[in-house]
Amino acid sequence: MILNYYNNLFITPNFDLRSNYLFGSNFTNAFVIGNIGAMDDFFLVGAPATELEGYPYLTGNFLDAEGNHLFTLVRNVLTVNPRDCSKIMGNHIGYEIHDGVGNRVLKVESRYENDRLLTTVEGIFFDKSRNRAAFTDEQGRLQVSEGTKFAIDFNGVGLVHAFNMNLGEAEIASLSVRTGGTLHRVVTGKIDHQDVDMDGKIFRDVEISNCNIRVSQGDFLFMGEVNLHHNIFQFLESAGRVQELIKTIDTPQTIQRGGLVKVTGLYESRGCEHITRKQLVAGENAPNCHVCGKLVFWVLEK
């Protein structure tokens, strides 16, 4: 299957004009710092607060001073935590994250001032080259080091001002902000015989073959040319519930591995490297691949 499109499924709700981050000496409703989308490098996304939920979301990948991965934060939630970091709620709106030995890595605090919500972000943040990419100065203002990529000011569609970023990086930064930090990882190139979790990722000019692809919430995006070959899909959680709904309202066109054939017709196998076409009869169980013996899906040809 070849996909070559850019969709507009992710639309940011109305954002709260009364909410801002303190960024340098400026106020901004959103920002991106660092190598956005790279899971082996530092980045930090400050998404705008929305009128519906009323508080800002931070997403980022954080490293220690030696360039080692500390944790990944997605919309204020610790999702990947190899170093046993802890999240501590603050007295005001906000939280701190400490590493496994108790050192504070990140502090986020929001306060109402003159009926406006002002969020400050504190910490010293390192990239994979062990350089200080961003930091908080003595006045509590978030600063970026010379040469660090960053973008600020979200207009509802994209970030208005980008620095040290090429057009592709600026586009990814805008998409991450636009989705409230939900999309935060970029996947490109060839992937073969792996487990692939789709949620939270932007698949850009990628070829995925012979993989076990898992979809839980459906929060992903295809950009450029995406090729999918001989993969097995698993639909879990919200995506699984949608799949079950579709099964109840549509004639089944795909037979699950080892499942019962409900419609007589010519089918093609999926799920192994041997593509087989076979006439299947309603009432029988779908066979395994006749070459390798693996359980496979069978797709009804139209």
Q: Where are the domains of the chain?
A: 10-183, 186-235, 252-300
End-to-end CA distance of the chain: 16
pTM: 0.77
**Stretch 174-198: mean pLDDT, rounded?**
94
pLDDT in tens, 169-184: 999 999 999 999 999 9
User: Nearest CA to 39 among 71, 6, 1?
Assistant: 71
pLDDT exceeds 60 at position 12:
no
What does the DSSP 8-state code read for residue 288? P
What does the DSSP 8-state code read for residue 240? H
User: Nearest CA to 194 among 214, 174, 172?
Assistant: 214
pLDDT in tens, 126-150: 999 999 999 999 999 999 999 999 9
Collapsing DSSP to helix, strand or coil, 160 comes out as strand
pLDDT exceeds 80 at position 249:
no
Which residues on adjacent β-strands are paired with residue 13?
A: none
Q: What does DSSP say about strands 19-23 and 2-4: parallel, antiparallel, or unpaired?
A: unpaired
- Report the distance separating Cα 184 and Cα 138, nearest Å: 30
**Stretch 248-257: mean pLDDT, rounded?**
64
Structure tokens, 302: 């139209």
**More confident call, 300 vs 246:** 300
Other CB atoms within 10 Å distance of the CB of residue 178: 22
Rg of the chain over all Cα atoms, to the nearest angstrom: 23
pLDDT, averaged across the chain = 88
